[in-house]
Amino acid sequence: MTHQLCVRASYNRGLVILAPHILYTRHGDRFADAVVIERNGARSTETKLGTFKLSGLRGAVITSEPFNPFDSYDAGDDRYAETIIARIDS
């Protein structure tokens, strides 16, 4: 069971708050598909699922801010076929 809490981290020299939906591997690298809730202190105006390479996330901490699953998230998508590490219940 997942708690569906946001994560705060540094990514590409900026601060982000993410709503992570799935962690997986592809070609041996680890990725997270997540919705950006906030970037550099500004709330995101566009809701979409983005892909983040885990090696690029620095200082990640779980927040107390819950999130609802993104409507277009599909855990059965072919890009997740290699290995799913963790995912939310949608």
CA pair distance 41, 59, nearest whole angstrom: 16
SS3 call for 58: strand
Distance CA 21, CA 25 (A): 14
Asked whether 90 and 73 are in contact (CB, 8 A), the reply is yes
Domain that holds residue 46: 5-87
The tens digit of pLDDT for each residue in 11-32 reads 988 999 999 999 999 999 999 9
pTM, two decimal places = 0.90
- Residue pLDDT, tens place only, 35-87: 999 999 999 999 999 999 999 999 999 999 999 999 999 988 998 988 999 99
Q: Give the count of domains, the chain.
A: 1
Say if residues 65 and 6 touch (Cβ distance below 8 Å). Answer: yes
